[in-house]
Amino acid sequence: MKLPVVLLSVSLVANAALIAIWAQPSFAPSGLRDYFSGVRSRRNPGEASQSVASAKNKAEQPQPPSPWSAFEKNDLHKLVAQLRAAGFPSYAIRVIVEDRLRDSYAGRIRQLTAPDPNAPYAKMGSGQLSSDRFNEMRRLNDEHEQILHDLLGVFAYRDSGAITNDERRSYGDLSPGKVDAIQRVEQDYEEMKTQARAGMDNITLPEDKERIALLEREEHTDLAALLTPEEMENYDIRHSPVTGRLRQAMTYFHASESEFRAIYQIEAPLEDVIYPSSSGDRSVDDVVAAQRQANAQMSDQLKAALGDERYAEFTRSSDSDYRMLVGFERQQTIPDGAALQVYDLRDHVAQESTRVFNDSSLDNSQKLAALQTLAQSTRAQMLNVLGPAAGETYLRQASFWLAAVERGQAVSFTPTPQGTTSNFRSLPAPPRAGNAPAPAAP
């Protein structure tokens, strides 16, 4: 709920703007410069004495009514018309109107946000509104938004009739009217979802998930009624959870528009399988098997769409190990090229540990010794390439698979569009000598 903060902010801006105009009347629109000059001369005797002759010449002339009469009458429609006629820019009109709206809502907002005088001290300042107060704040916010749109139209949140660069990035090349309508729908549903989450009290039950999912489906239906099918597709590409998850990879994988759309169109139909909201009547094993099959299907389709080389770059960019290493490069903590060099060392460990594990000429003790040597030499190489600071930080992240190799396990890494999965195979435990009892469980 942003109403109190927004109105306080615009009040401060409005006051600052009016002070600036009073201090320097030339800042005001041409239609109001004489008015501000007169006010300033009355407040500043030094300036007034320098313009006595001019004032005497104008004394006999009838004075126009104050352009702020609409303020006194609280007629905001008339005020907007007067400010536009006087030449005020749209952003200044918006600030002044917001300031007037703040005054009209201030008393009610103070009542709604006031703490309960009967609350014990340990609960003071929790900041949580009751359901009734939340609903009333939402109603006031909706009313405020409607008044602002009625008064200013497409200028309610922008300085010109055109959409802003941020809006174009979020919604594409839509008209300001459509962007406004989309934003109203988004705001309405976000408030409903916020209210639903507030009632969960930090415990999310299956019915709570379904309630949120229902609101999201209804929001999508309402947006589809506003937009053409092509516009709706473009909206989905920009706002889908699929896109949200892809953004991390896109930071490091510089996809063209056509590549990104290809990735999105392959991943979106499998979203509910890979990230199910609930398992329903299926067992955990069935859910995992379906996810594995969907990932394999997605990988095959992405390889066909991107080619082997670009697919390898994409899956690498989805890997948290690689993103950490590239982050070191961008911070100039490690030399250029070091990220890829260390990342390739990980693949070398996977290949070598598998070779040792499968080598029938070695017994288990020899395999264990070879795997321990491999893990230790890899640590040393990584520290040498990365340096002590970045090396120790990275090795803390890589420790789970390096430590597994050192314990006698072969590791393999399977790249997927969601990141890399690790798989391990363990050497059989060495037989106990004689009839020695098994070690006690810790």
3-state SS string over 331-360? CCCCCCCHHHHHHHHHHHHHHHHHHHHHCC
Residue 197 pLDDT exceeds 80: no
Residue 97 pLDDT exceeds 80: yes
Angle, to 10 degrees, between the axis of helix 364-386 and the axis of helix 338-358? Answer: 180
Residue 166 belongs to some domain of the structure: no
Task: Identify the pLDDT of residue 39.
Answer: 45
Same domain, yes or no: 361 and 309: no
Same domain, yes or no: 264 and 350: no
Give dist(CA 291, CA 273) in Å, integer. Answer: 6
Considering only residues 285 and 41, tell me which one the structure prediction assigns the higher pLDDT.
285
- Last-in-domain residue among 295, 318, 341: 318
Same domain, yes or no: 391 and 313: no
Same domain, yes or no: 271 and 335: no
Predicted TM-score of the model (pTM): 0.61
Same domain, yes or no: 354 and 414: yes
385-401 tens-digit pLDDT: 999 999 999 999 888 89
Contact (Cβ atoms closer than 8 angstroms) between residue 201 and residue 128 = no
> Which residues in 390-408 are b (16+ Cβ under 10 Å) and which e?
bbeebeeebeebbebbbeb
Q: Of 5-9, 149-153, 154-158, give the lowest mean pLDDT range.
A: 5-9
Residue 360 belongs to some domain of the structure: yes
20-79 tens-digit pLDDT: 544 455 545 555 555 445 544 444 555 545 555 555 555 555 555 555 554 555 688 888
Same domain, yes or no: 314 and 325: no
Same domain, yes or no: 43 and 109: yes
Give dist(CA 308, CA 299) in Å, integer. Answer: 10
| CA angle (238 as vertex; 235, 243 as ends), nearest 5 | 135
Same domain, yes or no: 26 and 98: yes
**What H or E segment, with its residue span, contains residue 158?**
none
Q: Return the top range by mean pLDDT from 124-128, 149-153, 423-427.
A: 423-427
Task: Identify the pLDDT of residue 433.
Answer: 55
Same domain, yes or no: 314 and 393: no
310-355 tens-digit pLDDT: 999 999 888 888 999 999 998 888 998 999 999 999 999 999 999 9
Residue 2 belongs to some domain of the structure: yes
Same domain, yes or no: 308 and 408: no
Compute the mean pLDDT over every residue in the chain, rounded to the nearest whole number: 79
- Last-in-domain residue among 116, 143, 170: 116
Residue 224 belongs to some domain of the structure: no
Same domain, yes or no: 255 and 340: no
What is the span of the domain harbouring residue 260?
240-318
* Total number of domains in the chain: 3
